[in-house]
Amino acid sequence: MAQPKARKSIYDFDAPFNFNETIGRDAYVLVDEKNGRLYVSSEAARILGHGDRFPFSIHVAFKDGNIGMTKPTENEWADKRPARFDKRRYASAMTFIKKLKVPGGRYIYDSFGNQWFVFRPESDLKPK
């Protein structure tokens, strides 16, 4: 059987897109105000020490516009229940968001100190 005659393309593609460039390696926490939940990116989960181990629990705090996360310990904050992230890396956090008036959006990993992982609002990190 004969091959169909190739038509000349009106497009001139130089090279295919490298989809490895689209893999997000940002460590961030996403606050979903509408659904009242938190999402932790895979890179943030890795930094927090959980990588691909799900579900996991972690203490979450909000102060001065930043989100802080720390690993639960046996003695500290025994009376505080940590947020529990499922295998999709979501945690229910409606009360946390409403009570502390946490603005929605992405919070990018900024630093680690005093056992706290600090995430700052993405808008604070963008050049003005």
What is the average pLDDT value for the chain, to the nearest integer? 84
pLDDT for residue 13 = 65
Q: Euclidean distance between the first and final Cα of the chain, in Å?
A: 63
Residue found under tokens 């959980």: 50
Between CA 50 and CA 35 the distance in angstroms is 24
Task: Please write the tens of the pLDDT for every residue from 67-126.
Answer: 999 988 755 777 788 999 999 999 999 999 999 999 999 999 998 888 899 999 988 876
Q: What stretches of the chain show up as alpha helix (H) in DSSP?
A: 42-47, 94-99, 122-125
- Enter the pTM of the model: 0.75
